[in-house]
Amino acid sequence: MSTISKRALATALLGTVAAAWSPWAAASSHREAPFITQHPKTDGTDFYLFRSYEPGRAGFVTLIANYVPLQDAYGGPNFFHMDPNALYEIHIDNNGDAREDLTFQFRFTNTNKDNTLTVGGKQVAIPLVINGGPIAGVNPPGLNVRETYTVSLVRGDRRGGSRTAVLNADTGGAVFDKPVDNIGNKSIPDYAAYAAAHVYNITIPGCGTPGRMFVGQRKDPFVVNLGETFDLINIKAPATEFAANAERAARDDLDDKNVTAIELEVAAACLTAPGASDPVIGGWTTASLRQGRLLNPAPQGSTASKEGGPWTQVSRLGMPLVNEVVIGLKDKDGFNSSKPSADGQFATYVTNPTLPALIEILFGAAGAKAPTNFPRNDLVATFLTGVKGLNQPAHVTPAEMLRLNTAIAPLAKGAQNRLGVIGGDNAGFPNGRRPGDDVVDIALRVVMGKLCTLNIGCVPGDAPAGALHFTDGAYLDDSFFNAAFPYLKTPIPGSPQQ
């Protein structure tokens, strides 16, 4: 890879900053940023982009956007509906210019079916938010609140491009039902079968090959030693030799949590640029809210507030952990309001990152010396351009997003390396991201110079700790997931009773 100077990188990125400002870019965040903690329903937690590895589906790409973090399975009575006043989006850039070419837009609606019981000769509305009886099948009578959604595909700019509805390939309908959360085994005796009834074959505008879609609660797929990580990275010191037990030495703090997943499976040929030979696509997710909110002092039904005005982006997620451990605190809300085309304003966080310096302060005695190459061209390749010869587009504008080379064949469950590319598996992170890629361990090793040992953007001598096996001790591989769409596991039930 050619050397990229910090000044040249910043100049290339900053050239588009002014053009990006609009009512769409006002304030944003994920859980790790201040603003989004007030709006958990629009909090993007993880984004996955990978060649489908289900047998017979190798020609497809799976996109998974997770929202609403840290869901306790027993968290009733409201549980975890999506926000009907929000706009959820998955964006695809297929020509490397850091601007969306395809955008899948999701809007949700909650309908109160107002189930009642006869009490003393009067029909009285029940207090239970979700169900007044067992639930089986799509929109059963016992369901008290029905959550549905619609999906549109926008080609071109998401504000002014052509917008067409995604349809149910079996019925032709444009409205889809979202399964309720896994309340418990008495309410939903067979949740796996119930959720499977909400996997839809879909007709995607402009794509001759039907895709698949699922939106609903899943077991949180992310694995992290969360508490100790934020206790000044209170994990085991890195080792010079591989030790499998070290990578399983700590608990996964998300082991008992669920999340809400928006999942699409789309033919790879429908995501790459028409007529182009470049197989690389980039992807990221966003969520937006209306700019204005008027609270109703005397709410009736579901009219506690009225939203209006332009959409305002409040969440953004592409590569994992970027806003969490790369972007400085003062810019976290700003990052989540921004577009990839405006990422020049954040270039210094990548070229001169603080995380390796913090790790050296905490683990320097164990030989964890931070890399010495500045600007960090290895991290530029990872986060901003893609790695040349792997997933860098033919013409690339540096910007933060997941990039996937759709020409690289997927590996079946059981054959995937949990460390992705640095483990010798080019079908894994950072070439896209699969559920079984342990991005915490990968990210720790990459920021400490693992790519320098592979001569990507730097040389081995630049990274004194590049060969160390950094790990948070929370283990993850492809055995944690299913071998077929929607891949993520059935969510944890709210009731332990069988």
The answer on pLDDT for 16 being more than 50 is no
Distance of CA 147 to the CA centre of its chain: 22
- This prediction's pTM: 0.89
Q: For 417-442, what is each residue's pLDDT tens digit?
A: 999 999 999 999 999 999 999 998 99
Q: What are the helix and strand counts (H, E) for the chain?
A: 10, 16
The answer on pLDDT for 76 being more than 80 is no
Give the DSSP letter string of 202-269.
EEPTT-SS-EEEEEEEEE------HHHHTTTS-SPPPBSS--GGGGGSS--TTTTEEEEEEEEEEEGG
Establish how many alpha carbons lie within 13 A of residue 445's alpha carbon, considering only the half-sphere containing its beta carbon.
Answer: 27
The answer on pLDDT for 7 being more than 50 is no
The answer on pLDDT for 14 being more than 90 is no
Q: What is the pLDDT of residue 8?
A: 41
Rounded distance between C-alpha atoms, residue 421 and residue 451, angstroms: 10
Q: What is the pLDDT of residue 236?
A: 66
Rounded to 10 degrees, the C-alpha dihedral 181/183/184/185 comes to -60
Distance of CA 238 to the CA centre of its chain: 28
pLDDT level of residue 370 (50, 70, 90 thresholds): very high
Sign of CA dihedral 234, 46, 482, 272: negative
pLDDT level of residue 119 (50, 70, 90 thresholds): confident
Q: For 326-352, what is each residue's pLDDT tens digit?
A: 888 888 888 888 999 998 899 998 999
More reliable by pLDDT, 294 or 169: 169
Q: What is the pLDDT of residue 24?
A: 27
More reliable by pLDDT, 27 or 81: 81
Average pLDDT, the chain: 85
Q: What is the pLDDT of residue 231?
A: 66
pLDDT level of residue 237 (50, 70, 90 thresholds): low
Q: What is the pLDDT of residue 30?
A: 40
Rounded distance between C-alpha atoms, residue 180 and residue 129, angstroms: 11
Q: What is the pLDDT of residue 470?
A: 87
Q: What is the pLDDT of residue 235?
A: 64
Of the listed ranges 26-35, 43-52, 115-124, 480-489, the least confidently predicted one is 26-35
